Amino acid sequence: MALDTEQMESECIEAIEANKLTFINEIFAFVPFCSSTFYDKGLEKSESIKRLLDKHRINTKIKLKKRWEDSENATLQIGLYKLIGTTDEVHRLSGTRQEIDTNQKISFNIDSDDIDL
């Protein structure tokens, strides 16, 4: 029996909504077809599926950031700051920024007697 693409898409959407899935590879644990069939039918291009996965991923991020913000745990607060801080702030917080001054002049002291031509 050939699988109908619309029915497969509908089953994917149901699985995503019921289980709050965030990645395509999670879908296959909840649908009666395998990943190769999913990709053969081009369902990875489905805007409905991609939009729903993105929605669940964004909602999860928002919930986590809210918990981290409300937490008294310094590790969670630093993690949140790394997510929302500017690049300079994050580097200063992590101590990972290395500045290289490329405007320095390089001089060589070469004795002309040491050069073979």
The predicted-structure confidence for 2-26, as pLDDT tens digits, reads as follows: 679 999 999 999 999 999 999 999 9
SS (H, E, C) the chain: CCCCHHHHHHHHHHHHHHHCCCCHHHHCCCCCCCHHHHHHCCHHHCHHHHHHHHHHHHHHHHHHHHHHHHCCCHHHHHHHHHHHCCHHHHHHHHCCCCCCCCCCCCCCCCCHHHCCC
Q: Residue 10's domain spans which residues?
A: 5-94
Task: Give a yes or no: residue 41 inside a domain.
Answer: yes
pTM assigned to the model: 0.68
| Total domain count, the chain | 1
The predicted-structure confidence for 43-77, as pLDDT tens digits, reads as follows: 999 999 999 999 999 999 999 999 999 999 999 99
Task: Give a yes or no: residue 75 inside a domain.
Answer: yes
